[in-house]
Chains A and B, each alone.
Chain A
Amino acid sequence: MLGFIIQRLWQAGIVILAMSVLVFCGVFAVGNPIDVLISPDATQDIRAQVIAQYGLDQPLWRQYFTFFGRMLHGDFGQSFVYNMPVTQLILSRLPATLELVLFAVVGASLIGIPLGMYAGYRHESPAAKIIMGLSILGFSVPSFWIGLVLIMTFAVQLGWLPAGGRGETASLFGIQWSFLTGDGLKHMLLPAINLALFKFAMMIRLARAGTREIMLTDTIKFARAAGLSEGTVLVRHVLRLIAIPLVTIFGLELGSTLAFAVVTETIFSWPGLGKLIIDSITSLDRPVMVAYLMLVALLFVLINFFVDLTYALLDPRLRRARA
């Protein structure tokens, strides 16, 4: 197991290194940020001075090494637009996205998987057909539209829930979180539902397909022949046997939602990362873009690492193969 962990950490390091080169070159190629930063009527002197100040007069490889050296110290430079350290800027936005996305993805899984298992277990029942109908809706209706409908219904017409913002926050570990206050939770509900719908539908379909397949196997027949109750069969056998694809999708969805919750964050004016990256792209705020993309790479590497560990915990055959 330890060997496996070390091997994965080594691979993760290489992925991050490769990503840093790609991201740096990619963003460098986007255009010259100086044109956005200073007014067009600035003198040539001021222009040269600003370019030198940001180190943009250096050759690309030297800029990269400076960038990489700083990155190792957690320093991504100053944001051109906000005029504050990028690390600090991103960290101030990260908790908002983190809590919203975790709430949405975990909630979608906790509700979606049992519903999907039920739909697979009693696949002929009317309830199963309703569940599957809902899941098709979750797949096919665009999320911006659902977001607007949610706001129209629950915020505008019924007035039950707020239409946007984070609401009241409370401090934990020196960070502001919405989920700790009632008001914050109320603010989080609509955007979380909006984000969760697609994942909810996906979890239902995955769990249903897996359950239907597993229910037909001799493993389940044998368990039933031993007198196990249907509940025990579903929880101890079926859930376990369908868990690997569920964990895979959970990981992928968690990563991509953390990185790209843009649409929902914009609709509900949720001050998270997605909003930040869109703003930075339009204003060519290069350090923020680079830092953000590196963060996304890091998140995916971390999530994949934990997903792989979970595989090994779930399936003893993988444990042996990797030992």
Chain B
Amino acid sequence: MTAPLLEVSGLKTQFPTASGVAKAVDGVSFRLERGEVLGLVGESGSGKSVTGFSLIGLVDEPGRIVEGSVRYEGRDLVGLPTSDLRRIRGKEIAMVFQDPMMTLNPLLSIATQMRLAIAAHERVSKAAARARSVAVLARVGIPAPESRLDAYPHQFSGGMRQRVAIAIALLHRPKIIIADEPTTALDVSIQAQILTEMKMLVDEIGMAMIWISHDLATVSSIADRIAVMYAGRIVESGPVGAVLRDPRHPYTQGLLDSLPSRTRPGEELRQIPGTTPSLLNLPQGCAFAPRCPRADDLCKAVPVESVAMDRTYRCHHPETQRSAA
């Protein structure tokens, strides 16, 4: 068996603050195979975005990776000098962000921004950079890319801007693309479009993708595998169908129960009681225990990761298999 494209193990990213250390990512492990789409799901503050940024060494100051490894094609990216990391960013592992209004530089033309991204890794002539930019813009569905290339971000709609950002991420045909909620800031109709197009692009180019989202529905339609994060840990992972059909962790079950589509009209939405714990002051043991209907004294210890077939979960009292029940 060959090594996976990306193997993250025991990753811990922490932010020292005035009132203590925030453990944003607390021992995350997962694998990503070539061409696979992994959906990373969790509430705000569950550490899913920080996990994404940790992979390419772009954690905001003063946060830093304190433990663990990120093996990309067998090579550990944690602790790599910035200059080496820079050669991987954009070329091997690219990233698309949440808000296309904020990511593109409003003062530079699309052509300039794409040329800078190309020049970051290759020496190419202006004409060649242009030709390549036009081709990639066409690929992500920008109409008349030749004439739109010299436009500025404010001349594009939100969906088009996100397409431009995706095009920039695709310039070097990276092996992995990390998509950090790329559809959250867009209109619902555009969301679906971008989602479908991303899925197609990933299949065509054969990229692997990590799709970070708080939206279970979106993830279920794009991902092959899913990892559910809670308070800096992956509490459950596995093939998307199996996890959603038959969740093991009470948190995953809670998330599924709170989906409007699972509730009859007129019925109240079922919510998970309580709120996400502060990362500065995590409960002892299982972080979900205070909100969990199944919690007992056992939960005061951090549950170890149980691995069964291609699924993992961290729970002392997993939901029983429904098919068996």
Instruction: Enumerate chain A interface residues (CB-CB to B < 8 A).
Output: 216-219, 221-230, 232, 236-237, 240-241, 314-317, 320
Q: Which residue of B lies closest to A233 (CB)?
A: B116
CB contact between A221 and one of B82, B88, B97, B119 (< 8 Å): that residue: B97
**Which residues B74-107 have CB closer than 8 A to chain A?**
82, 86-91, 94-95, 97-99, 102-107
Q: Are the CB atoms of B58 and A224 closer together than 8 Å?
A: yes
CB contact between B56 and one of A225, A236, A241 (< 8 Å): that residue: A225
Known: A216-B60, A221-B53. 10 other contacts (CB 8 A): A218-B102, A221-B58, A223-B116, A224-B58, A228-B116, A237-B108, A241-B105, A315-B107, A317-B106, A320-B155
* Secondary structure of the A contact surface, majority rule: helix
Q: Which residue of B lies closest to A229 (CB)?
A: B86
Interface residues on B, range: 35 or more
**Which residues B37-90 have CB closer than 8 A to chain A?**
53, 56, 58, 60, 82, 86-90
**Which residues B139-181 have CB closer than 8 A to chain A?**
152, 154-155, 165, 168-169, 171-172
> Which residues of the other chain, A, contact B87 by a CB distance below 8 angstroms?
227
**Which residues B172-201 have CB closer than 8 A to chain A?**
172
Contact flags B118-150 to A (C-beta < 8 A → 1, else 0): 011100000000000000000000000000000
Q: Which residue of A lies closest to B62 (CB)?
A: A124
A142 CB to nearest B CB, Å? 37
Q: Are the CB atoms of B165 and A236 closer together than 8 Å?
A: no
Known contacts A219-B105, A240-B108, A315-B107; A227 and B121 CB within 8 A of each other? yes
> Which residues of the other chain, A, contact B165 by a CB distance below 8 angstroms?
222
Separation of A226 and B60 alpha carbons in the complex (Å) = 16
Separation of A317 and B106 alpha carbons in the complex (Å) = 8
Q: Are the CB atoms of B90 and A227 closer together than 8 Å?
A: yes
Separation of A230 and B57 alpha carbons in the complex (Å) = 14
Known contacts A221-B58, A224-B89, A225-B90; A232 and B120 CB within 8 A of each other? yes
The 7 A-B pairs at the shortest CB distance, nearest first, are namely A227-B90, A222-B103, A226-B90, A225-B95, A218-B102, A227-B120, A227-B89
Q: Are the CB atoms of A316 and B89 closer together than 8 Å?
A: no
B178 CB to nearest A CB, Å? 8
Q: Is B244 an interface residue (CB 8 A)?
A: no
Q: Is B117 an interface residue (CB 8 A)?
A: yes
Known contacts A226-B117, A227-B120, A316-B154; A241 and B107 CB within 8 A of each other? yes
Q: Can you list 14 residue pairs at the A/B interface with Cβ under 8 Å?
A: A217-B102, A218-B99, A222-B95, A222-B103, A223-B105, A226-B89, A226-B90, A226-B171, A227-B172, A229-B86, A232-B119, A236-B108, A314-B107, A317-B152
Separation of A275 and B67 alpha carbons in the complex (Å) = 67
Separation of A64 and B106 alpha carbons in the complex (Å) = 49
> Which residues of the other chain, B, contact A223 by a CB distance below 8 angstroms?
105, 116
A54 CB to nearest B CB, Å? 55
Q: Are the CB atoms of B169 and A226 closer together than 8 Å?
A: yes
Q: Are the CB atoms of B107 and A226 closer together than 8 Å?
A: no
> Which residues of the other chain, B, contact A221 by a CB distance below 8 angstroms?
53, 58, 97, 103
Separation of A237 and B168 alpha carbons in the complex (Å) = 16
Q: Are the CB atoms of A228 and B105 closer together than 8 Å?
A: no
Separation of A230 and B91 alpha carbons in the complex (Å) = 16
Known contacts A216-B60, A222-B95, A315-B107; A228 and B102 CB within 8 A of each other? no
A293 CB to nearest B CB, Å? 37
> Which residues of the other chain, B, contact A237 by a CB distance below 8 angstroms?
105, 108
Q: Are the CB atoms of B154 and A317 closer together than 8 Å?
A: yes
Q: Which residue of A lies closest to B117 (CB)?
A: A226
Q: Are the CB atoms of B104 and A225 closer together than 8 Å?
A: no
Separation of A237 and B105 alpha carbons in the complex (Å) = 7
CB contact between A218 and one of B97, B112, B116, B155 (< 8 Å): that residue: B97
Q: Which residue of B lies closest to A243 (CB)?
A: B107
> Which residues of the other chain, A, contact B121 by a CB distance below 8 angstroms?
227
A212 CB to nearest B CB, Å? 11
Separation of A216 and B82 alpha carbons in the complex (Å) = 18
